[in-house]
């Protein structure tokens, strides 16, 4: 066999070293190695985190032997993505290149892109499955606890598809919004018209139940003419009507478009009370109703002449006992005694007294013992007693003749 030429001693590499001429590290690999060193330094500056177990370093290969490849073990708790990254970073089996008497281990180019093959005899750098898993997992934007997500923005295509004014108007018409708005406008106009038009004011007042009072006086007392029919307070109208002495009770109501209906219950005059030069109607309770109308239907009632200095006005009261006594005398005096009274009078000091023919004055006072008083009067007249003044008020009546 042909003897191989031995290289000079100076050209031969040391044991376990690779000649620079046959070194697998290129300039690009050295740049990548420096970059990995910087990354490792930055990674060591971060807080310590649990890392997967490192693979054991292989023993240094003897000169002339092919380096034994090492295989990194993935952590047991790693997920499938971490296992896939660990498989991709596993170093390939080195190839040997014949170069004289020394075999040089040449490793295959890295499959991971960012991982360079280590030099011969150096332990392979373990894979970083955690960092690869983080890269494979999508990152979520952090938000404060309890924060509500913001409004989603419509895409440009949706904004471009916004309907125009014609389409919007057509939708309004189809949905009934336009008809509703028109109905609302018409309703508002009608309400304003009804509440402001003179057609809906009180122009007609119908009075029922007035006999002593004139209907015109009742209308004046109601005081609701030409008021808006919507604002007529019927309770207030009734209060004003009952303020009249003639009206004992009343009711009021309205009727569209312009009518006020009034119904009154009058107090019936029992006596005409003459006070000074005025004549008043008085009811059975002694209430002064007002000036006596000579044209009224009750103008033929009994008249009592008041000779006191008392001034009267409507809703005042007179002596009710005098009223009952005067009515009784008007009914019984002539049938029981034959006396035809000229007038029935009343005064503070005498009470009720009667002026009879022959200038006779008969004082009855009050209605007490009326039957007894009439018997005494009848006996005196039948006996032919002459008198001008007879006072029947005491228990023992007396008379005198002043003629």
pLDDT in tens, 343-360: 999 999 999 999 999 899
Give the domain extent around 213: 200-266
How far is residue 28's CA from residue 368's CA, in Å, rounded to a whole number? 149
Residue length of the chain: 403
Residues 293 and 261 reside in one and the same domain? no
Does residue 240 form part of some domain?
A: yes
pLDDT band at residue 179 using 50, 70 and 90 as cut-offs: confident
Residues 322 and 239 reside in one and the same domain? no
Here the CATH number for the domain that contains residue 288 is 3.40.50
Residue 337: cis peptide before it, omega within 30 degrees of 0? no
Position 1 scores a pLDDT of 41
Q: Is the pLDDT of residue 317 over 60?
A: yes
Does residue 40 form part of some domain?
A: no
Position 3 scores a pLDDT of 47
Please identify, among 237, 266, 295, the residue that sits at the C-terminal boundary of a domain. 266
Q: Is the pLDDT of residue 308 over 60?
A: yes
Here the CATH number for the domain that contains residue 245 is 3.10.20.310
Residues 228 and 334 reside in one and the same domain? no
Task: Look over the chain and give the mean of its residue pLDDT values, rounded to a whole number.
Answer: 75
Residues 305 and 382 reside in one and the same domain? yes
Residues 313 and 215 reside in one and the same domain? no
Residues 276 and 339 reside in one and the same domain? yes
How far is residue 35's CA from residue 41's CA, in Å, rounded to a whole number? 10
Treating both helix axes as pointing N-terminal to C-terminal, what angle do 320-337 and 370-383 enclose, rounded to 10 degrees? 40
Give the residue with greater pLDDT, 80 vs 252: 252
Phi/psi at 355 (5° precision): -100, 120
How far is residue 212's CA from residue 167's CA, in Å, rounded to a whole number? 75
Does residue 298 form part of some domain?
A: yes
Give the residue with greater pLDDT, 113 vs 317: 317
Position 131 scores a pLDDT of 53
Q: Is the pLDDT of residue 178 over 60?
A: yes
Q: How many domains does the chain have?
A: 2
Does residue 180 form part of some domain?
A: no
Does residue 214 form part of some domain?
A: yes
Residues with Cβ within 8 Å of residue 124, at least 6 apart in sequence = 55, 69, 70, 72, 91, 118
pLDDT band at residue 101 using 50, 70 and 90 as cut-offs: very low
Residues 380 and 292 reside in one and the same domain? yes
- Strand partners of residue 290: 281
Residue-wise pLDDT tens digits, 271-283: 899 988 888 999 9
Percent of the chain scored above 90 by pLDDT?
34
Please identify, among 246, 266, 286, the residue that sits at the C-terminal boundary of a domain. 266
Residue-wise pLDDT tens digits, 117-144: 454 455 555 555 555 455 555 555 555 5
Does residue 292 form part of some domain?
A: yes
Residues 260 and 305 reside in one and the same domain? no
Does residue 151 form part of some domain?
A: no
Residues 277 and 396 reside in one and the same domain? yes
Please identify, among 266, 291, 315, the residue that sits at the C-terminal boundary of a domain. 266
Q: Is the pLDDT of residue 299 over 70?
A: no
Residues 340 and 236 reside in one and the same domain? no
Does residue 21 form part of some domain?
A: no
3-class DSSP string for the chain: CCCCCCCCCCCCCCCCCCCHHHCCCCHHHHHHHHHHHHHHHHHHHCCCCCCCCCCCCCCCCCCCCCCCCCCCCCCCCCCHHHHHHHHHCCCCCCEEEEECCEEEEECCCCCCCCCCCCCCCCCCCCCCHHHHHHHHCCCCCCCCCCCCCCCCCCCHHHHHCCCCHHHHHHHHHHHCHHHHHHHHHHHHHHHHHHHHCHHHECCEEEEECCCCCCHHHHHHHHCCCCCECCCCCHHHHHHHHHCCCCEEEEEEEEECCCEEEEEEEECCCCEEEEECCEEEEECCCCEEEEECCCCCCCCCCEEEEECCCCCCCCCCECCHHHHHHHHHHHHHHHHHHCCCCCEEEEECCCEEEEEECCCEEEEEECCCCHHHHHHHHHHHHHHCCCCCEEECCCCCCEEECCC
Residues 284 and 396 reside in one and the same domain? yes
Position 105 scores a pLDDT of 46
Q: Is the pLDDT of residue 78 over 50?
A: no
Contact predicate 74/55, CB 8 Å = no
Residues 235 and 354 reside in one and the same domain? no
How far is residue 200's CA from residue 229's CA, in Å, rounded to a whole number? 6
């Amino acid at each position: 066999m042909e003897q191989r030429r031995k290289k000079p001693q100076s050209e031969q590499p040391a044991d376990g070293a690779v000649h620079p001429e046959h070194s697998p590290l290129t300039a690009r690999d050295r740049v990548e190695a420096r970059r990995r060193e910087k990354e490792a330094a930055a990674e060591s500056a971060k807080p310590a985190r649990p890392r997967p177990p490192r693979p054991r370093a292989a023993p240094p290969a003897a000169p002339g032997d092919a380096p034994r490849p090492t295989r990194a073990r993935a952590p047991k708790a790693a997920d499938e993505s971490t296992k896939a990254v660990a498989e991709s970073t596993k170093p390939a089996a080195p190839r040997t290149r014949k170069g004289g008497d020394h075999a040089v281990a040449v490793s295959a180019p890295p499959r991971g892109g960012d991982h360079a093959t280590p030099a011969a005899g150096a332990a392979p750098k373990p894979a970083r499955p955690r960092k690869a898993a983080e890269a494979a997992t999508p990152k979520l934007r952090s938000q404060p606890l309890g924060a509500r997500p913001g409004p989603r923005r419509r895409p440009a295509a949706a904004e471009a598809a916004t309907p125009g004014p014609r389409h919007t108007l057509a939708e309004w018409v189809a949905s009934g919004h336009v008809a509703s708005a028109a109905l609302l406008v018409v309703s508002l106009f009608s309400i304003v018209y009804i509440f402001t038009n003179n057609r809906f004011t009180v122009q007609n007042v119908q009075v029922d139940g007035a006999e002593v009072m004139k209907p015109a006086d009742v209308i004046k007392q109601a005081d609701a003419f030409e008021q808006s029919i919507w604002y007529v307070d019927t309770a207030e109208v009734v209060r004003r009507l009952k303020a009249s002495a003639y009206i004992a009770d009343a009711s009021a109501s309205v009727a569209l478009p312009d009518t006020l209906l009034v119904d009154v219950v009058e107090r019936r005059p029992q006596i005409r009370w003459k006070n000074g030069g005025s004549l008043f109607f008085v009811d059975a309770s002694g209430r002064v109703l007002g000036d006596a109308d000579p044209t009224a239907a009750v103008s033929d009632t009994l008249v009592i002449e008041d000779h006191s200095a008392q001034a009267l006005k409507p809703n005042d009261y007179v002596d009710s006992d005098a009223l009952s006594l005067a009515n009784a005398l008007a009914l019984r005096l002539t049938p029981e005694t034959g006396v035809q009274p000229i007038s029935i009078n009343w005064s503070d000091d005498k009470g009720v007294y009667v002026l009879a023919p022959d200038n006779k004055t008969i004082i009855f006072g009050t209605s007490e013992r009326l039957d007894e008083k009439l018997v005494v009067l009848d006996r005196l007249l039948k006996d032919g007693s002459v008198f001008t003044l007879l006072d029947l008020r005491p228990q023992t009546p007396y008379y005198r003749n002043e003629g």
